[in-house]
Amino acid sequence: MSEQVGHRAPYARIAAHYTDLIASGRLQPGELLPSIKTLAQEWGVSTATAEKALRQLRSEGLVRGIHGIGTEVVDRPTPMSSGSQRQDRGRRNGSSWGAGERSDSHEASVVSAPADVAEALDIVPGTDVIRRRRVYRDRRGIVAHSTSWIPVEHGRLVPQLAESERLTGGTSLQLIARATGQPITRRIDTASARLLTAADAELLELNSANLPTEPVVVMTAKFIDSTDRVVEYGVDLGGPGRTWLTESEVNH
C-alpha cells in the first residue's frame, strides 16, 4: 500500500489514492474498487473509515455503488484545476500537475499588457509583461489552457520565466519568491463562465466553426507578495464540459 503522507484524515488519504488511480486511468470505468472490509484491512483502518472514503468518492461522482456487486468506477471527465490549486500542489510537492495531468505547448514571450492584465497587475496598459502559456491535459483531452502574466522585471531575476520551456526548480511563484526574498502572502481568486469565442477555441484546439454551446469555466488568480505587490496574474480557461471542483475539511 502506498505511503500515507500529510496530515489529512485517513478516509481522505484513501479517497485521494483512488482519485489518483481513476484520474490517471489506472482504474478504468467499469472496474470495481475493493470492498469496505478489504479496504479496512489494506489501510489498517476501521470499516467505518473505509466506508467514509467510498462515500467521498461517490459524492464526487467518481464511483457508484451497485447493490450486490460493489463499488464501480464511472466514466466522468476530470474537473479542471485552477491556478490557485496548482500553487497549493506546488507548495506541497513541487509539481503543479493534478492527478493524471500533464502540461505541454509551453510558450513564453514579452508582450504589451492588455488593459485587463494591466489592471490586475496594477501597471500602465501597454507596459511590457511576460506572458507564459501552457495546456494541461489528461487522458480525456484538454483540462484547461493556462496563461500567466508576470511583471517583466521578474524575468531579469529569473531568466527562464521568459523561455518557452516548462519551468525547472519549482513553479513560477516559487522561483520569483526565492529570487526576490519576498514570499507570496495573499491571493485573490475569481470564478466565472462564458461562451467560447473564436480566440478561446484556438487556445483549446477546437474547430471555431462548430463551437460548443455550453459555457466554459474561467478561473483567475492574483498572487500578492509580502510587500503588497502583485507578482503574477493567472487566467485558466477550462475545456468544454469541465467543471471546477474544490474540497476542504470542515472542523466541528
Dist CA 96 CA 146 (whole Å): 12
The SS3 call for residue 79 is coil
Across 43-67, average pLDDT? 89
CB-count burial class (<10 Å; 0-12, 13-18, 19+) for 138: buried
Average pLDDT over residues 5-9: 62
Residue 3 has a CB neighbour count (10 Å cut-off) of 5
Write down the pLDDT at residue 250.
60
Per-residue cell: 80: 479542471
Amino acid at 146: S
Distances (CA, A) of 230 to 142, 155, 190, 249: 28, 14, 15, 29
C-alpha triplet 223, 188, 112: angle, nearest 5°: 55
Q: Which of the two residues, 235 and 207, has the higher pLDDT score?
A: 235
Q: Which residue has the higher pLDDT, 34 or 62?
A: 34
Q: How far apart are CA 201 and CA 208, in angstroms?
A: 6
CA 125/CA 116 separation, integer angstroms: 8
Give me the pLDDT at residue 87, please. 67
Whether the per-residue pLDDT at 77 is higher than 60: the answer is: no
Cβ neighbours of residue 176 closer than 8 Å, sequence gap 6 or more: 150, 154, 157, 158, 161, 225, 231, 232
Q: Which fold has domain 83-238?
A: Chorismate lyase (3.40.1410)
pLDDT for the residue numbered 247: 59
Q: Is the pLDDT of residue 143 over 70?
A: yes
Instruction: Please count the CA atoms within 13 angstroms of the CA of 168 that sit on its side-chain side.
Output: 3
> Has domain 10-73 been given CATH number 3.30.70.270?
no
The pLDDT of residue 5 is: 40
Where in the chain do CATH 3.40.1410.10 domains reside? 83-238
For residue 20, name the pLDDT band (cuts at 50, 70, 90). Answer: confident
